[in-house]
Amino acid sequence: MNTVVRSGKRIQPIINNDILLHDIPLFKKLTEDEMFRLELNSVIKSYSKRSVIYREGSRHSGLYCVLKGIVKVYKIGGNGKQQILRFAQKGDLIGYRSLLTNELACTSAKAYDDTVLYHIPQHIVMELFRQNWGFTHETMKFMCKELKESNMFITDIAQKSVRERAAEMLLILKDEFGIDKHNALKITITREDLANMVGTVTESLIRVMSEFRNENLLELPGRKIVFRDVTKLRAIANI
């Protein structure tokens, strides 16, 4: 049974049994030997909330896999405004684009929670790609998922109103991060970040959220977002 305890260059003492590589579909494709070589060469890095993992325009040679926490992946527009492209969580890959193309990063990534990443150096990833098709295929499927979501998002942002997009984004967050027993979204997100996901300004997003509250679709106690009528939200989102 492989656990990160076997990891060669364990630099952080955070690792415990909550975090197991074999929980992650991608790594299930590896043989015991490959796994051993991987762990011998990879590094587990932890990031405290709000710390930057990499920045647009920087070079980072390797692949990151999220083991724990949430990573915000975003781009800065011409006017300095953030556009959030996705939130990556356990099992998700980040930084693979510049790995494959040897270009500079075209996005930035920031820890949204206290986050633990698995960093695999470029030559190891490339070696695995060469020798293990299952691993490569799994990575390609992940890329496809992102492409599909990008295509959907481009169409939405070009054609839907802020109200529709906001409803849709709330439902996406609900699907990705889940809700607790009180129907409250598990991820805590600021209004500004929600606006930066939806592709609008904070004030507009707040206005729409207030509408949703007045229509009894949401409750908004403090920073929580509680779902009260998912069916109607889905109708508004027009998915």
Partner DNA sequence: CGAACTGTTGAGAGGCTTCAAGCCTAGTGG
Partner DNA sequence: CCACTAGGCTTGAAGCCTCTCAACAGTTCG
What separation, in Å, do the N-terminal and C-terminal C-alpha atoms of the chain show? Answer: 43
When asked if residue 151 is in the footprint of DNA (CB under 7 A), the reply is no
Q: Does 31 help bind DNA (rule: CB under 7 A)? A: no
**Which of 12, 16, 150, 190 touches DNA (CB under 7 A)?**
190
Find where tokens 């998915």 sit.
239
Would you give the distance in Å from CA 85 to the centre of its chain? 9
- Report what 206 binds from its own copies, DNA, none; CB cut-off 5-8 Å by kind: DNA
Q: Which residues contact 175 (CB under 8 A, 6 or more apart)?
A: none
Residue 220's binding partner, choosing from DNA, its own copies, none, with beta-carbon cut-off 5 to 8 A by kind?
A: DNA
Asked whether position 175 contacts its own copies by CB under 8 A, the answer is: no
Q: Rounded to whole angstroms, how far apart are CA atoms 170 and 110?
A: 21
Residue carrying the six token digits 């952080």: 12
Residue 104 touches its own copies, criterion: CB under 8 A: no
Task: Tell me if 93 sits within 8 A of 63, measured CB to CB.
Answer: yes
Under the binding rule (CB under 7 A), the answer on residue 131 touching DNA is: no
* Residue 51 contacts which entry, its own copies, DNA, none (Cβ below 5-8 A, type-dependent): none
Chain residues in the site for DNA (CB under 7 A): 161-163, 190-192, 199-204, 206-207, 209-210, 220, 222-223
